[in-house]
Amino acid sequence: MNARSRIAFAVATFAAVAWLPDLLAGGPSGPHGDLGLGGLLGSGSWLAPAAAFTGGLLTSLTPCVYPLIPITVSIFGARTTRTRAEAILLSALYVVGIAVTYSALGVGAALTGRAFGTAMQSPWVAGGVALFLAAMAASMFGAFELQLPPALQARLSSVGGAGRAGALAMGLVAGVIAAPCTGPVLTAALTFVAARGSVALGLSVMFPYALGMGLPFFLIGAFSISLPKSGAWMETVKSLFGVALLAAAGIYLRDLLPQLRPLFSSARWAAPAAGGAAALGVLLGALHGSFHGGVAGRAAKALGVLLAVGGVVYASGAAAARERARSAAGLAWLHDEPAALARARALGRPVAIDFWADWCVACKELDRAWDDPAVRAEADRFVMLKVDGTDDDLPFEALVDRYHVAGMPTVVFIDSRGRELPDRVLGAVTPGELARRLRTVDAACDAPRPAGALACVARWGAAQKTR
């Protein structure tokens, strides 16, 4: 990598890392957050799937995948077809196969979300994930190679053979063939999806990731585009993944040690400082250096990686510090149901009960709606109760059964006379919708209701008997 490229990478790194706290300002990070991805998805931002697509494309440019592209395309016959339409169809079927496999993996990871999210509250589990990510990063830096047995790799490479069925079948097993390079990145992505427990998130991450990984295959198969020759630039791609995986491990470890929180500042200077450290790390060799050269080169590479990873971790910690400062100035939530209902009964106020969990990405989206000024103004007349299902303990399960809660987030409303409304907030909603629901609480039970609608159910008496 020449000096001009290093400077360009350093400038881009500074901009990205310095922007990170603002990107994550709407929600926490680390093993209990979503690094801002859930917020991007919830707001309909194109940045989330674009980031996943870019990750897949970069994966296809690593030394384990890139050299296989022309070989794979020749096996399923896209470059020997008589028509361009047939070449496009074969290439598209190959990419569809990749997308089906990775999307299924994303959905499967998300469906285990509640169990995984609860397990992630254990320091042993979160610490183990951090160590695993660090080990995968080491493989990206060349400490060891993840490799399938040659015989199995050769067999998988020819699954299906030429033709439409062959192209689809080869796409379905493409992730296994590319395991030496996709393994670390794919495992990290699936761990992230499982910790959030959202099927929509799983699809939104893994489907674009698969399309990005399949793009070079499609281009060379459908249009016979000549891709750049293999070279040292592919090692830069691997180093980029190594830094990203180490940064993810650092964020997990940061959240395991609450005593480190005072080190992270919510001040505006924190973001540029973190960006400067990461940019300096790039200049020293975090991306272009090698751990296989002389002592000076290895030392420069190690220091560069340390600065780049430290910059990302500190930027995410600054975002978490901003989040804590914002939450401290937010709504005054109670966390004991009998006490909250007793207070509401004594003051003649309605109640809003938010069923929430730290690993629930949609819950974090709803938190942003609660912090909206218009929602806060409406919530001032409520007694606010947050029921935490992070640990999925027996008291939480008892409340879930009592209020018939099917999933999170769920917001249950009780009017000022102790009657539970049949209308609930299910999932993340916009601040405007949440404010509208709050405004209708006291009038909802008295308003004429359609035939067959549920009547308001009294809760205060039953709750008082269980105290």
The pLDDT tens digits for 12-39 are: 888 888 887 666 554 433 333 334 444 4
pLDDT of residue 389: 85
- Considering only 188-202, 300-314, 323-337, 417-431, which range has the smallest mean pLDDT? 188-202
Average pLDDT rounded to a whole number, residues 388-397: 82
What is d(CA 21, CA 320) in angstroms, rounded to the nearest whole number?
A: 8
Considering the domain boundaries, does residue 332 fall inside one?
no
What is the average per-residue pLDDT within 144-169? 58
Number of alpha carbons in the 13 Å side-chain half-sphere of residue 314: 23
Query: Cis peptide before 409, with omega less than 30 degrees from 0?
Result: yes
* 331, part of any domain: no
Identify any residues that bridge with 457 across adjacent strands, giving them in sequence order. 420
> Cα-Cα-Cα-Cα dihedral of 279, 281, 286, 291, to 10°?
170
* Residue 89 resides in a domain: yes
Residue 329 has pLDDT above 70, yes or no: no
Other beta carbons within 10 Å of 156? 16
Same domain, 310 and 347: no
Q: What is the pLDDT of residue 29?
A: 38
Q: Are residues 44 and 23 in the same domain?
A: yes
Please return the burial class of 82, using the count of CB atoms within 10 Å of its CB with bins 0-12, 13-18 and 19+. Answer: exposed
361 and 313 in a common domain: no
Quickly count: other Cβ atoms within 10 Å of residue 296's Cβ. 8
Residue 419 host element (H or E): strand 419-420
Among 299, 326, 353, the domain-final residue is: 326
State how many domains the chain has: 2
In this prediction, residue 282 has a pLDDT band, given cuts at 50, 70 and 90, of very high
Residues 161 and 22 in one domain: yes
Task: Enumerate residues 6+ apart whose C-beta is below 8 A from 178.
Answer: 59, 64, 65, 68, 213
In the predicted structure, residue 226 carries a pLDDT above the cut 80: no
User: Which of 319, 287, 315, 314 is CA-nearest to residue 300?
Assistant: 287
Confidence label for 152 from pLDDT (cuts 50, 70 and 90):
very low
Residues 309 and 346 in one domain: no
Residue 98: predicted pLDDT = 83
pLDDT for residue 200: 72
In a domain, 444, yes or no: yes
What is the domain-level CATH number for residue 442?
3.40.30.10
Please give the residue range of the domain that contains residue 297. Answer: 3-326
The token pair that represents 31 in the structure block: 């093993």
Q: What pLDDT does 349 receive?
A: 92
Q: Which of 291, 326, 361 delimits the end of a domain?
A: 326
- Average model confidence (pLDDT) across the chain: 76
Assign 185 a pLDDT band (cuts: 50, 70, 90).
low
- Same domain, residue pair 314 and 420: no
CA distances, 75 to each of 161, 170, 326 (Å): 6, 9, 56
CB atoms within 10 A of CB 178: 24
pLDDT-derived band at 191 (thresholds 50, 70, 90) equals: low
With H, G, I as helix, E, B as strand and everything else as coil, classify residue 414. strand
- 278 and 129 in one domain? yes
* Same domain for 15 and 118: yes
Assigned domain for 314 exists: yes
Q: Residue range 241-263: average pLDDT?
A: 80
The predicted-structure confidence for 331-378, as pLDDT tens digits, reads as follows: 888 999 999 999 999 999 999 999 988 767 678 778 888 988 899 999
User: Within this chain, do residues 152 and 299 fall inside the same structural domain, yes or no?
Assistant: yes
Residues in a beta bridge with 425: 411
Q: Supply 340's token pair.
A: 């909250």
432 Cβ partners below 8 Å, 6+ apart?
A: 374
For the cut 80, the answer to whether the pLDDT of residue 6 exceeds it is: yes
pTM (predicted TM-score): 0.58
The per-residue pLDDT for 183 is 58
From 255-269, 304-318, 422-436, the region with the lowest mean pLDDT = 255-269
Instruction: With CA atoms as reference, report the closest residue to 308 among 263, 276, 267, 268.
Output: 276
- Considering the domain architecture, whether residues 106 and 35 belong to the same structural domain is answered as yes
Q: What is the pLDDT of residue 375?
A: 92
* Structural contact between residues 267 and 13, judged by C-beta atoms closer than 8 angstroms: no
Residue 133 lies in a domain: yes
pLDDT tens-digit profile of 45-74?
Answer: 556 677 778 878 887 777 667 666 766 666
**pLDDT tens digits, residue range 78-98?**
556 667 788 788 888 888 888
Q: For the chain, give the longest Cα–Cα distance.
A: 81
How many C-beta atoms lie closer than 10 Å to residue 345's C-beta?
Answer: 19
Among 295, 326, 357, identify where a domain stops: 326
322 and 421 assigned to the same domain: no
Q: Phi and psi (nearest 5°) for 447?
A: -75, 150
Alpha-carbon distance of 409 to 244, in angstroms, equals: 30
Nearest to 163 by CA among 68, 80, 67: 80
Enter the tokens of residue 185. Answer: 């990145």
Which of 102, 101, 61, 86 lies closest to 162 in space, CA to CA?
86
Band of residue 381 on the pLDDT scale cut at 50, 70, 90: very high
Bridge-based pairing state of the strands 410-414 and 351-356: antiparallel
Asked if residue 138 and residue 19 are part of one domain, the reply reads yes
